[in-house]
């Protein structure tokens, strides 16, 4: 499926079975987060998640 990149406006290929919370890097350099809800699939720029539990 194709979803519009909220940053550059170009289409992004999103796998049909993409899950909410998956991360996709778009060609324009933006890191996007898949959000799936009743209305379908959206993309939003991934905010910096500041805390983590790194190895």
Partner 1 sequence: MLRIGVAYDILRWEERAIADALRRNGAEPQLIHLRNTFIELGRGEWPELVLQRSISHSVASESASALESAGVTVVNGSLPILLSNDKLLTASILSRAGVPTPRTVAAFTPEDTLKAADTIGYPVVLKPVNGSWGRMVAKARDEEELRALLDHRLYVPGINSQVFLIQEYIEKPGRDIRVFVIGEDVPAAIYRVSDHWITNTARGGRAEAAEVDEELRELAIRVAEAMGADILGIDVFEDPRRGYVVNEVNAVPEFKNTVRATGHPIHERIAEYAVELARR
State the Cα–Cα distance between residues 20 and 32, nearest whole angstrom: 11
With CB cut-offs between 5 and 8 Å by kind, which of partner 1, Zn ion, none does residue 53 bind?
partner 1
Options 29, 37, 39, 40; binder of partner 1; rule CB under 8 A? 37
Options 23, 27, 29, 39; binder of partner 1; rule CB under 8 A? 23
State the Cα–Cα distance between residues 54 and 34, nearest whole angstrom: 22
Binding region for partner 1 (CB under 8 A) = 19-23, 33, 35-37, 46, 49-55
């Amino acid at each position: 499926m194709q979803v519009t990149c909220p940053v550059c406006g170009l289409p992004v290929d999103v796998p049909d079975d993409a899950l909410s919370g998956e991360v996709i890097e778009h060609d324009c350099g933006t890191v996007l987060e898949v959000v799936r809800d009743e209305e379908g699939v959206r993309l939003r720029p991934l905010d910096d998640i500041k805390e983590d539990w790194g190895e």
